[in-house]
A and B are shown apart, each in its own frame.
Chain A
Amino acid sequence: MMKLSAGDKVLQVMIYAVLLLLGFITLYPFWNSLVISFNVGSDTALGGITFWPRSPTLDNYEVVFRDSRIGHAFLISILRTIVGTTLSVLFTAILAYGLSRHELMGRKVYMVFCIITMYFSGGLIPTFLLLRGFGMMDTFWVLVIPGMISVYNMIIFRTFFLGLPAGLVESARIDGCNHIGVLTRIILPISGPVVATLSLFTAVYHWNDWFSASIYINDTRLIPIQTLLKQILNSNIVTDQLQKAIGSSAAAQDRLALVQSVTSKSLIMATTMVATLPIIMVYPFLQKYFVKGVLIGSLKE
């Protein structure tokens, strides 16, 4: 350990202070929203809610979970994340495996063909019209299929596959394994960290994406949670309707209490927390992977 001079000590203290402040600013909005989501809405409206709930309640969550649309949207998001991530990672890996094989004729051409799409695209409007032309509007698949092959992820996979010892694949081929078998039984199992990282990034994308559903989907039964949340944030009318819907389904005496204590702000915060929860829950387990993933991704530059 090097000795610190007086100037260095001042610098250290300043850095710790700034970092603490940054940490606080980063965490505070979460914490405050969480607190508001557990506080009686009519009480929150009086102000002063910062670090702790003043009158704790689960009413906001009760309203959120009683609303069938939110539960349904949550399921759609989970389904989309699972199906979308599995398909995307699998097909991207298949393509990457193919392009990593030296016996493939014209693989340079194929690579260029893929890479061009990273820099040029038709843009929002032509893509929208194409998908509409295919009749994919208002289907579950429009959320999953168009983004199934990620060229960026493919390059990361391919770079990793190229680094594996060639003898591995050759011996499996000699033992009579076909390419699909080689990929699923040998290559993918030993590519753990890459598969985990790319799955994580793909899953986060699918969970968080609200925009594609907002333009391709009108059918309320197919709206994912983030898109629904966006709609709720944009209009207080929706939350009013939500409260009324709850009011009519609950027993008469609960009804009045619920509608009085829950405000649109507390409702929005509870819904936001429900949409955030899955990410917060998996986050601690995934941290070590994504740091590695970012570095694998940036190696290519």
Chain B
Amino acid sequence: MVVPAMLFIFVFSYLPMYGVLMAFQDYQLFGGFFHSPWVGFKHFEAFFNSPDFWNVMRNTIVISLLKLCIGFPAPILLALMLNEVRLMLFKRIIQTVSYLPHFLSWVIVGGFVGSMLSTDNGSVNMLLMGLHLTSEPISFLSVPEYFWGILVGTGIWKEMGFAAIVYLAAIAGIDPHLYEAASIDGAGRFKQIQLITLPCIRPVIIIFLILAVGNILNAGFEDILILATNPILRDVSDVIDTYVYRMGILNNRFSYAAAAGLFKAVVSIGLLALANKAARKMGSSLW
């Protein structure tokens, strides 16, 4: 029973890995992997020397760091706040609402963002103009300065509630006696969060942090393809993944794109190992 599935995994997961070799070839459409000439590191050099390289690297790193620094703590904060809510009905409603965006496709989220931010009476512009913060509608999705904020904010809007589930479960597993004891000792709720809740869910936080660091070069793909449709944004929106897509699939530069993709994979694995090492020093690790 296992053999057909294994063959299947071999074909759809391992055969493409072999295809990584084409980063070292001048891949010819009709020759395939076997008849294309080997060119060594030519495509890697071309990628490192290309004028796009530093731009793409900067965007990849900045966008990931922003997502890590703002997007990572957001669900923890949400879980902490939800945990303080005493009205169960209120808590349940807010939770139900907060999960919902996770189940929507990026296309739909993109439609919402476009509608909210549109200059053509989008709600955000109506609000800003109503408050007299701006006199002209702002075309948010075509101003490079706003793009990172919109990208990170939309990502948090979409995933915060869903990511909070695990933290809520971890908080629910904390022994209630700890809180009672702290409260008798005179600790207020804020102190209790600081001294009991946070230390108790620390292992969970660290595991998710390691996973997030391992993903650091995955700055985004679908979200950027959807939100950055305006070519004006390319200077701030192009990350390695979207660059690979554009070069490979749209411009047919297969070998060049595969080289850029391979570079990313190697760096990611290195970062994951580093993050794990750091975490082991803090007392927990992935493997």
Contact = CB atoms under 8 A, between A and B. Distances in A.
Interface string A270-301: 00100110011001000100110011001001
A284 B106 CA distance: 21
B115 A125 contact: no
A262 to B, nearest CB: 15
A110 B6 contact: yes
Contacts of B274: none
Interface string A88-112: 0001001101110000100100100
Contacts of B248: 124-125, 128
Contacts of B146: none
Contacts of A272: 108, 111-112
Q: For chain B, give the interface size range.
A: 35 or more
A123 B16 contact: yes
Interface in B104-135: 104-108, 110-116, 118, 120-121, 123, 126
Interface stretch (A43-51, A64-72, A244-252): A43-51
Interface stretch (B47-55, B59-67, B81-89, B275-283): B81-89
B126 A50 contact: yes
Q: Which of B189, B222, B257 has the most CB of A within 10 A?
A: B189
B12 A98 contact: no
A113 B9 contact: yes
B262 A12 contact: no
A99 B8 CA distance: 15
A124 B190 contact: no
Given A16-B85, A26-B161, A32 B123 contact: yes
B24 to A, nearest CB: 12
A121 interface: yes
Given A91-B5, A122-B17, A210-B107, A269 B115 contact: yes
A230 B85 contact: no
Contacts of B98: 22-23, 26
A208 B258 CA distance: 26
A298 B86 CA distance: 27
Interface in B1-55: 1-2, 5-6, 8-9, 12-20, 22, 27, 32
A8 B225 CA distance: 45
Interface string A201-240: 0001001111100010000000000110110011000000
Interface string A8-31: 100110011011101101111110
Given A48-B121, A122-B16, A287 B96 contact: yes
Given A19-B82, A47-B126, A149 B5 contact: yes
B266 to A, nearest CB: 10
A120 B18 CA distance: 11
A29 B12 CA distance: 39
B169 interface: yes
A126 B22 contact: yes
A181 interface: no
A187 interface: no
A125 B8 contact: no
Contacts of A208: 103-108
A148 B1 CA distance: 15
Nearest to B190: A11
B120 A265 contact: yes
Nearest to B137: A47
B94 interface: yes
A127 B115 contact: no
Given A27-B97, A33-B112, A19 B85 contact: yes
Nearest to A122: B16
Q: Which of B121, B180, B257 has the most CB of A within 10 A?
A: B121
Contacts of A233: 107, 110-111, 114, 229
B262 A123 contact: yes
Given A7-B190, A18-B81, A272-B108, A26 B101 contact: yes
A117 B13 contact: yes
A20 B103 CA distance: 21
9 residue pairs, one from A and one from B, having the closest CB atoms: A126-B19, A122-B16, A208-B105, A47-B121, A98-B2, A117-B13, A95-B5, A29-B112, A123-B261
26 contacts: A8-B189, A11-B188, A11-B189, A18-B81, A22-B98, A25-B157, A26-B98, A27-B100, A33-B111, A98-B2, A117-B13, A120-B17, A120-B265, A122-B16, A124-B248, A124-B261, A125-B248, A126-B20, A127-B12, A127-B19, A129-B254, A208-B106, A210-B106, A226-B108, A227-B107, A272-B111
Interface of B: 1-2, 5-6, 8-9, 12-20, 22, 27, 32, 78, 81-82, 84-86, 90, 93-94, 96-101, 103-108, 110-116, 118, 120-121, 123, 126, 157, 161-162, 165-166, 169, 179-180, 183, 188-190, 207, 211, 222, 225-226, 229, 241, 244-245, 248-249, 254, 257-258, 261-262, 265, 269, 286
